[in-house]
Amino acid sequence: MSETATPKPTETKKEEKDARNSSIGQALLIPSLAVLSGLIIGAIVIAVSGANVFTAYGALFTGSFGSPTELIEGLRIFFATGDNASLVKAIYPFTESLVTATPYIFAGLSVALGFRCGLFNIGAEGQFFIGALCSAFVGYSIKGLPAYIHLPLALLGGAAGGAFWGMIPGYLKARFGAHEVVNTIMMNWIAFRLSDWLLNGPMKASGFRPVTANVLPTAELPRFFADPLRFNWGFVLALIMAYAVYWLLFKTTIGFEIRSVGANPDASKYAGMNIIKNFVLVMALAGGLAGLAGSSQVLGVDHWVGQGFSAGYGFDAIALALLGKSHPFGVVLAALLFGFLRSGATDMQSMAGIPIDIISIIQGLVIIFIAAPDIIRWLYRIRSLKVENTVLTRGWGK
Amino acid sequence: MTNVLELRGITKRFPGVLANDKIDITLREGKILALLGENGAGKTTLMNILYGLYKPDEGQILVRGKEVTIHSPNDAIERGIGMVHQHFMLVPVMTVTENVMLGVEPTKNGIFLDKEKVAKRIREISDQYGLAVDPTAYIKDLPVGIQQRVEIIKVLYRQANILILDEPTAVLTPQEVDGLFQILQTLIDKGKSIIFITHKLKEVMHAADDITVLRLGRVVGSIDPKDATPEILATMMVGRDVNLVVNKKAAQVKEVALEVKDLFVRDERQNLTVNGVSFEVRKGEVLGVAGVQGNGQTELVYALTGLLPLDSGQITLLGEAIKHTTPRNILERGVAHIPEDRQRHGLILSFPIHDNMMLCTYYKPPFARGVSLQAKKIFSNAEELVKQYDVRTPNIYVNAGTLSGGNQQKVIVAREFSRPIQLLIASQPTRGLDVGSIEYIHSRIIQKRDEGTGVLLVSSELDEILALSDRIAVMYKGQIMDILDASKVNKEYLGLLMAGVHPTNTATKN
């Protein structure tokens, strides 16, 4: 009856480090295995459809990363003769993948930020549209500005437009308890129809097609290389925003409030936090990030907006946030993955005759495995660590 | 006499923890065995093994002398073992009958539910054991004590002979506890055998035929209730001598810390639950608010701490009338709040201990400079508080949710006491805690009082109110029945007030 429970003071530092490492390890392990499993099952589907798996995945690889032999050959020619045509051709697929990943990063961050506050932002797609339209408008309508003012202004316009679009459902939730899932979906439809009208009316450039005018060169995100490489500063901006979101969430009092409200609204209220303020703030920030996704696409890649401008970036963003465990760095990795898959799929279709939809199947499988990690744990016999689930959204009303 | 259930050498290891270490337990037929132990002693693990939720690493389970293996709750039920959980597993919007038949739905002609048959059986069980449960009532309309009887019926309906009750009295009023003990007596009279898990000493002596005490995953010993005293049991449970009486000096009462006048409060469903309450708390004294749970105490505390708006009335804090009763306005004036529901309001369970240790002051130096969080200061603050308040945790980086209830409460107490406070509002500060933690938290509250802090203590445990308070206010149906000098009251008189009876004869009114 003499002993009492005392924690061992020794080795706690080491244990703690181990615990952290293993939880980071598992955070990466499960998504990696989910991707692997998605590719394996995708291979089975390809095989069943009668195509050659190696040809298909080979094309997927060269389509997303480029062909290593072409790269070496390109480098050789470049250093020997100074002619970079072959080199440009060799790195084109890789840079295109990064171009595709850029809006994914922004939009994924948008949804992830919402998740952290317990909000489910399904409206990233609509916010993307509004952001793109605002940036395009600033980009083509304001003339005579130098690039160092015009470009930031165009980006800011996109962010502000998206933020406004996100703030509306945020305010409706805060003020009236209206659920953000319903309202962001509604805002999406308003955004789609609004853009239809704008592109056929006030914002329509001269000509037959319902598109805007090209943005002025002063509003373009500069490209790193000459045509046809479209790789631009938007990618760098996306990485900077990922770090900014990380810093905001984990290093500031603002982020502490956001995460607290997401994890336990009652305790947050007890601690004196203003829950309503956080809902509006987070929806505005999330909207701004999704708006920047649209801006980066307009200002960096397309330079104009047309109907059906978004390729579903805002909806894929939900999957990205899940895949990245709502962590900004996880979102970047997930966005790169989606960028490579999407961009490689085009080659897979043209070279191996595999429908581009197979990529959607693989993406879908990956999402299922992420959403139900027990499948992966069971498949690969991984012991479960106690990881708490992210709250995606809360019930109706308050 | 036969042993209906025997556990031999049960061992269960979790990563880094030996939850059960060669545990031997015997349940005699027709008897009540009390399994006594602090939180974390391994009681629940052991019962989950018995109920088939965990697989033991070593050891045998014998039912009526025959070794059995139990892989699932269904196995347990088949062997006649039934469990009444601490948190009821009932669907509020369904009737008693529907809840009882969940999982074993009998049908007519293969597709239609045969509710009449079940209802009839429930009436039979109810009559047989004196449970007085109406099978057609909806769960949401039933008081907690009756809901518990529905859980017992569920187990009996499945023809259990061995009943396991996990902390059955934790949610009950004193009257309901008496009722439960009568039911248990009837059950064993009719041949059932019962294991009764608890950490409450007095109940054990009252109700049990045998007592087995667990500590740190091991059986410390068994004792006959006739030979047991609360002191002996507490010593066995905690492993050292425990002071069950709170030592305190006479209160040094100073100026008024909190004055409440004609306070009316509506709860979240807009029912008026606090009906014109007035009182004051002075610095250096403990005002205890006694009363059966659900008589407006919760809403009173919510209103005082800004979690619910005032309907009308006046709150004066340290001489200043409070207009904006927001949580932050109130806590910045030097009010500490130990909330009734520590997991809902007190902690963010998925956050590490160090973040919970600064949950209310994260925006102020030294934890923040501008908007930038100061990790080093946050860590050193937590390290210091963990040491000072004896929080048992491997380190400050683990999530608060991994701590035991007692240690979670210590985190809250440490956080709230570590900032300069003038008034402490403590609501059910020791609910669900073990003896050691209760002793510790009581001594800390008295220490704050002696430092000159005003204390408003709300508790439904009369013993706690009597042990700590200098004055006692009794709440009934949203009103204060009377405020009494704690040194001049007796339990019976308080009991009457708590039941809403106001004796006309003299009381020492303050």
pLDDT in tens, B367-424: 999 999 999 999 999 999 999 998 988 899 999 988 878 889 999 999 999 999 999 9
Could you please state the CATH topology (level 3) that the domain comprising A37-380 is classified under: ABC transporter involved in vitamin B12 uptake, BtuC (1.10.3470)
Q: How near does any CA of chain B get to the CA of A9, in Å? A: 8
DSSP annotation of B509 reads: B
Tokens of A240: 């900077």
What is the pLDDT at residue B492? 77
Residue with the bigger pLDDT between B272 and B204: it is B272
Indicate yes or no: CB of A260 within 8 angstroms of CB of B305.
no
ipTM beyond cut 0.95:
no
Give residue-wise pLDDT tens across range A181-191: 999 999 999 99
Interface of B with A in 315-334 (CB under 8 A): 326-328, 331-332
In contact, B397 and B352? CB cutoff 8 Å: yes
User: Per-residue confidence at A19, pLDDT binned at 50, 70, 90?
Assistant: low
Higher pLDDT pick, A319 / B246: A319
- Mutation target for A interface from B270, B307, B347, B350: give the one with most A CBs within 10 A: B350
pLDDT for residue A22 = 60
- Residue B110: per-residue pLDDT: 79
Angle at A335 between CA A334 and CA A340, to 5 degrees: 100
Partner residue opposite A253 with nearest CB, options B345, B348, B368 = B368
Strand B58-63, strand B66-68: pairing: antiparallel
The Cα–Cα gap between A148 and B144 comes to 69
Q: Residue B427: what residue type?
A: S
The answer to which of B36-45, B89-98, B159-168 has the lowest mean pLDDT is B36-45
Share the mean pLDDT of chain A.
87
B348 and A7 within 8 Å at the Cβ level: the answer is no
Q: Which of B346, B363, B392 sits opposite A267 (nearest CB)?
A: B346
Q: Helix H segments across B132-200?
A: 144-157, 174-189
**Which candidate, A290, A333, A349, A296, places its Cα nearest to that of A314?**
A290
Position A185 scores a pLDDT of: 95
CA distance A71 to A76: 9
Model confidence band, residue B171 (pLDDT cutoffs 50, 70, 90): low
| Alpha helices, H only, chain A | 12-48, 53-65, 68-81, 85-116, 124-141, 147-176, 180-200, 233-251, 253-263, 265-270, 275-297, 313-323, 328-352, 357-371, 373-380
Between B93-97, B142-146, B221-225, the lowest mean confidence (pLDDT) is in: B142-146
Tell me which of A128-132, A247-251, B133-137 is least confident.
B133-137
The residue type of B414 is A
Peptide bond into B366 cis (omega under 30): yes
Q: What is the dihedral of CA B385, B389, B392, B394, to 10 degrees?
A: 20
A386 contact residues in B (CB cutoff 8 A): 402
Stretch 228-247 of chain B: residues touching chain A, C-beta under 8 Å: 235-236, 239-240
pLDDT over threshold 60, residue B219: yes
What is the per-residue pLDDT for B434? Answer: 75
Q: Is the bond preceding residue A228 a cis peptide, omega within 30 degrees?
A: yes
**Chain B residues with CB inside 8 Å of A19's CB?**
397-398
Q: What is the dihedral of CA B226, B439, B398, B39, to 10 degrees?
A: 10
C-alpha to C-alpha distance for A389 and A146, rounded to whole angstroms: 48
Select from B278, B217, B237 the least CA-distant residue to B435.
Answer: B237
Whether residue A387 has pLDDT greater than 50:
no
The answer to whether the CB atoms of A253 and B362 lie below 8 A apart is yes
Nearest one of B403, B420, B417, B426 to B347, comparing CA atoms: B403
**What single DSSP character describes residue B323?**
S
> For A297-311, B162-176, B317-331, which range has the lowest pLDDT when averaged over its residues?
B162-176
Strands B454-458 and B423-427: parallel
Q: How far is CA A32 from CA A36, A248, B241, in A?
A: 6, 27, 54
Cα of B248 to nearest chain A Cα, Å: 26
Which of B216, B355, B360 is nearest residue A272 as measured by Cβ atoms? Answer: B360
The whole-number pLDDT of residue B123 equals 94
B394 part of contact set with chain A, CB < 8 Å: yes
At B399 the pLDDT is 93
CB contact under 8 A, A251 and B344: no
Instruction: Assign B168 a pLDDT band (cuts: 50, 70, 90).
Output: confident
A207 vs B32, higher pLDDT: B32
Least confident of A334-338, B132-136, B172-176, B462-466: B172-176
Q: Is the pLDDT of residue B60 over 70?
A: yes
The pLDDT, as a whole number, for residue B324 is: 80
Q: Would you place residue B507 in the very low, low, confident or very high pLDDT band (cuts 50, 70, 90)?
A: very low
Task: Express as a percent the part of chain A with pLDDT over 70.
Answer: 90
Residues 247-266 of A with CB under 8 A from B: 251-254, 256-257, 259-260, 263-264, 266
Domain ranges for chain A:
37-380
Res B510: pLDDT:
41
Query: To the nearest whole number, what is the mean pLDDT of chain B?
Result: 89
pLDDT at B267 over 50: yes
Question: Tokens representing B403?
Answer: 């701590």
CB contact under 8 A, A5 and B307: no
Q: Which among A5, A259, A267 is the nearest to B345, CB-wise?
A: A267
Range in A257-261, A275-279, B114-118 with the lowest mean pLDDT: B114-118
- State the pLDDT at residue B291: 86
Q: Which residue has the higher pLDDT, A255 or B74?
A: A255
- Spatial separation of the C-alpha atoms in residues A341 and A338, rounded to whole Å: 5
Q: Given a cut of 50, is residue B508 above it in pLDDT? A: no
Residues of chain A neighbouring B40 (CB-CB closer than 8 A): 5
* Least reliable range by pLDDT among A72-76, A267-271, A309-313: A309-313
**Which pTM was predicted?**
0.81
The secondary element (H helix, E strand) that includes residue B200 is none
- Determine what percent of chain B is predicted with pLDDT higher than 90: 58
Q: What pLDDT shows up at residue A267?
A: 96
* Of the ranges B99-108, B441-450, B492-501, the best mean pLDDT one: B441-450
The whole-angstrom separation of Cα B84 and Cα A357 is 52
Domain spanning B3-238, CATH class: alpha beta
Tokens of A93: 């697929």
Rounded Cα distance between B259 and B478, Å, is 17
Query: Out of A292-306, B215-229, B409-423, which region has the weakest mean confidence (pLDDT)?
Result: B215-229
Nearest alpha-carbon partner for B487 in B506, B462, B468, B464:
B468
pLDDT for A20 equals 54
Q: B296 — alpha (psi -120 to 50), left (phi > 0) or beta? A: left
Q: How far is CA A7 from CA A386, B13, B386, B387, in A?
A: 20, 17, 12, 11
Residue B198 — φ and ψ, nearest 5°? -160, 165
Contact A5 B392 (CB under 8 A): yes
pLDDT at B294 over 60: yes
A14: confidence class by pLDDT, cuts 50, 70, 90:
low
**Environment class of B428 (CB within 10 Å of its CB; exposed 0-12, middle 13-18, buried 19+):** buried
Instruction: Specify the pLDDT at position B206.
Output: 82
pLDDT at A11 over 60: no
Contact in structure between B266 and A32 (CB atoms under 8 Å): no
CATH classification code of B243-334+422-510: 3.40.50.300
The two structure tokens encoding residue B192: 């059932």
Tokens matching residue B239: 């492993």
Domain boundaries, chain B: 3-238, 243-334+422-510, 343-419
